[in-house]
Amino acid sequence: MKRIIRLLLLVVLLPVQSVYSQWYSAVKLYIEREEQPDAAIFLPAPPDTASVAYIDDFVQWQWGKTIRQTERGERASRESASSTAEMARIFSEALGFKISRSETPAIYNLISRSYHTAEQASKNPKEKYMRIRPVIQYNEIPTGSSDRLESLRTSGSYPSGHTTRGMATALVLAEMAPEYADTILRRGYEYGESRIIVSAHYQSDVNAGYMCGAACVAAMHSVTDFMEDMEAARKEYYEKSGRTPSGIFSPTDGRRILPDPVDTASNRYYGDVAQYFAAKAERVTQRGAQAKADADCTLEALLTAFSAPLGKNLDLKKTPALTNLIRVAREALLSNADALGVTVQFRKRPYVQLGEAPFAGGTDDKGKSSFPSAESEIGWGIALVLTEIAPDHANEILQLGFRIGESGMISGQHWATDITAARILAACMVARLNADILFKKLLNAAKDEYFLLTSLN
């Protein structure tokens, strides 16, 4: 009798197991966890409750509480769900047509593989730091419809896994569909913001998630499967949308992606000021001297700086393709930052706002907006581009890109929130550049040059 029951169970369960196996095997990661950039290395530790950086976390936690009973709060609660299907639903709204396994198989496949690859990107720092989530820290009841207290209690808060996956998906789709890039990227930003509203994460967790997602996507560009899937999805997108590629490059518009910068009437300004004075204390140290050097974002200075993590001496004669790529990327990132900066002239630089002399940077910076930080956008953007070329040196490259942003706060040129915004904008701009035919040619030439140089060593 037992044998008959086992046979019956086998007959019933075998089709289910087969379907599950097919589904699981279909979701093949572009990059395994151990081969991805490690955010436990290229990002700093999260702020603790005694840190001045925690002020912004606390203020934003309070802000999130005021949003929970609104329509935006209800959406944040729904967005606690996290899956390929949820990504397809959210970004269907942004693209204007339904994404599904049956109707858009190529796009769905790109989302699925990118999502599951990015799912691995936040695990190392989560396990390393095991930061307590705000919902646990303040003894709250989870308001995310899919969040469970025990799961939140036993998993690390830093960085936000939801944000990592959401931003990675947004960056991939923005590259696929440049005509809708700003709308897609805004939804990616808001998906991370939702985690603050439901108290599942602090602001610094979400900020780290944006960077984790961007680093993961950059590394995916070194994988042939990803590039082939991207082309297949792009072809399907143009067929589905009825659009045709314009061939005209248009940069991302930060006003459509990012919220307004912090002003002096905002509670977040207290966090900016506190972090500024903490960073200012480092000016008399070796880190202060490094910050002063990092303020030089000329092409020559960038070539010198990124030569070290790449392990190659970058200059026009020895590495013309890499040099040209960095030059074009720098100009595009700087122009993008300046275009947003002229729209928010009220955001004064810290040393100007506080009546101090500049520690680094030119005197012509005095009248320029502090938001966003051009140096941070350039540093982080070039780090992402070079990660596409040399994923084997990703951690060192991304550490440098991150450091350039932090240097802007030490030097008094930028507030902390200006630097975070610039890094998000940099990732968005790189996604836009990756969709440009001319930039892709420069990128491929630089990859070939790097491969040749590496093979000769």
pLDDT score of 247:
81
Residue 241 gets the label, from left (phi > 0), alpha (psi -120 to 50) or beta, of: alpha
pLDDT in tens, 182-240: 999 999 999 999 999 999 999 999 999 999 999 999 999 999 999 999 999 999 999 99
253 is catalytic: no
13 has pLDDT over 60:
no
Which residue is listed with tokens 């930080």?
373
Q: Is the distance from CB of 137 to CB of 158 less than 8 angstroms?
A: no
pLDDT score of 12:
40
The single residue of 113, 131, 133, 162 carrying the catalytic annotation is 162
Write out the two tokens for 417.
């929130």
408 has pLDDT over 90:
yes
Is the previous residue joined to 372 through a cis bond, with omega within 30 degrees of 0? yes
393 is catalytic: no
Maximum alpha-carbon separation in the chain: 89
d(CA 456, CA 111): 37
195 is catalytic: yes
CA 342 to mean position of chain CA atoms: 24
pLDDT in tens, 19-68: 333 434 458 999 999 999 999 999 999 999 999 999 999 999 999 999 99
In this prediction, residue 453 has a pLDDT band, given cuts at 50, 70 and 90, of very high
The single residue of 38, 57, 182, 205 carrying the catalytic annotation is 205
Exposure pattern of 21-37 as b/e (b: 16+ CB <10 Å)? Answer: eeeeeeeebbbeeebbb
pLDDT score of 3:
46
The single residue of 201, 221, 268, 432 carrying the catalytic annotation is 201
The single residue of 195, 221, 268, 393 carrying the catalytic annotation is 195
Nearest partner of 194 among 386, 16, 64, judged by Cα: 64
205 is catalytic: yes
- To 10 degrees, the CA torsion angle through 130, 136, 138, 140? 160
pLDDT score of 26:
59
Q: Which domains can be identified in the chain, with CATH numbers? A: 26-246 (1.20.144.10), 285-457 (1.20.144.10)
d(CA 102, CA 53): 46
d(CA 162, CA 191): 8
